[in-house]
Amino acid sequence: MTNSGTPTWALRAHAAFDWIWWIVVVNALWWFFTLAGAVVLGAIPASVAAAEVTRRRLRGELFPVARTFASAWRREFWRANGALGAGAIATCALAASVAGQLGAGSLASFLGVVSAVALAAAFAITTIAAVMYAHYDLALRAYLPTAGRWAVRNVPHVVLLLLGAVVVTAAGSILPGMIPFLSVGGWLVLSTTMCFSFFTANDRAVEAASTAP
């Protein structure tokens, strides 16, 4: 039996608030487990765990969120740091360089532009690799190179991903009160959703090409 009396707008509003609540939960779990790993070692496995639980939610699975997040964080603690640590270090180093040049007013220089482009590339590749880690089973050393090759072949998708990061950052700057509660979770959920969609479409295209006569 179906309930035809519920207005469409009410269903959409419910779905929207459900996702907002999911972002709040993911945000809180990410901060908790990042701090549990002393930030330096905790952030990467927390990001991978966020991608894993969000991927499962997108697939319609039902599971205990906090317990599943904690299990993924513990299981992937050292493996995720080993697989993605170089990308995270490069991104942080480039972010510090860009911030320093911005403070010095030299971001518009050639070196500043190169640093900004390198930061965007490193950030995008590391983000893609984190979601790829939750989606594919590869050798640990293969995630960052594979994400880099995927990014080169799918530049429009990378641009969309970076635009998503800009939107989340802009929303946080306009409403700074949301930063502790939504910004990180919003980015993790958005990036996972986008990359999961990209990978699924890519997998279908590869499968179709392999079965074509």
Q: Which residue in the block uniquely carries the two structure tokens 């599943």? A: 68
- Give the predicted TM-score (pTM) of the model: 0.90
Is the pLDDT assigned to residue 5 strictly greater than 80?
no
Give me the pLDDT at residue 202, please.
Answer: 85
Is pLDDT of 107 > 50?
A: yes
CA gyration radius, the chain: 19
Residue pair 121/188 in contact by the 8 Å Cβ criterion: no
Who's near 156: CB < 8 A, 6+ residues apart?
Answer: none
Q: What is the pLDDT of residue 212?
A: 66
Distinct helix (H) and strand (E) counts, the chain: 8, 0
Percent of the chain clearing pLDDT 70 (strictly above): 96
27 HSE (CA, 13 A, CB side)? 17
Contact 187, 120 (CB under 8 A): no
Q: Indicate if the pLDDT at residue 185 is higher than 60.
A: yes
Describe the crossing of helices 8-36 and 65-75 by its angle, rounded to 10 degrees.
Answer: 40
Examine the pLDDT at 162 and tell me if it is beyond 70: yes
Q: Which residue from 163, 166, 159 is spatially nearest to 183, judged by alpha carbons?
A: 166
Cα–Cα distance, 51 to 141 (Å, whole number)? 19
- CA gap 130, 147 in Å, rounded: 9
What single DSSP character describes residue 93? Answer: H
